Structure 1
């Protein structure tokens, strides 16, 4: 009887701890550099966060971001980056950052909430050139504790990563 109760308890705990695994394409995101994917990716992030956390997966390709993304607590935004892209930002999962040009004020491109992660992504600012450097808000900013940026490449951001503005 004790073994049955223990087994049932383990199944209940395992079910409660099941993390969501979400693909951004299920929420309408496309790898089209001419189509804004911000809202579709945010819907996937919110759905994953609403189910208690997990991983939001992005296939290789270019995702245009015309706004800001918030990664909820317990969620990982996961691309397919494996090594630095020396030759081309088009390799792997790339977020094409267009939001905020002309000012450092405004939301970051990616806001990480407590216990969240961005992993395996290249972030590239296509309109940022050496001949005409423009200010942008933070590329990645964190609010809370246990914030993670893993295996990411930031190409030409005006402001890179900020984990110091908000109290931890």
Structure 2
């Protein structure tokens, strides 16, 4: 198949098309958002094959994310740390109210996400496994919005699509 005919979701882009990208989004239970109540609602939805539409902070990033980009949510701040969800970006970045009352700016960047697979917050794909897939990726950055290589994101998406018996988790 000719590269221009390939689905742009796999990262290939024809002339004038934007290349698909991938980004990390952080879940930090030590900050002002306790994710556990949301995960209690969302995990059964994910287990039934439903996607979860959410809005998420983009850290310092104010541009560069587009619908169709890959989204990887990584739990940081408290052990166990690691990947807890995958999905895709469904909106461009927009500015909205700051979620963190300790932040110096009153506004923050936000983006719509559709989570397609959630994992238990206390049983994430461990950072060591993620580092094996993407050894040059900084899996625990200080804020959301860090770009990661698309091939790494696709490998991670494939990993969480497997059953626990196949991933060794």
Fold similarity call, TM over 0.5: no
TM-score normalised per structure 2: 0.28
TM-score normalised per structure 1: 0.28
> Which structure would you say has the larger Rg?
1
More helix by proportion, 1 or 2? Answer: 2
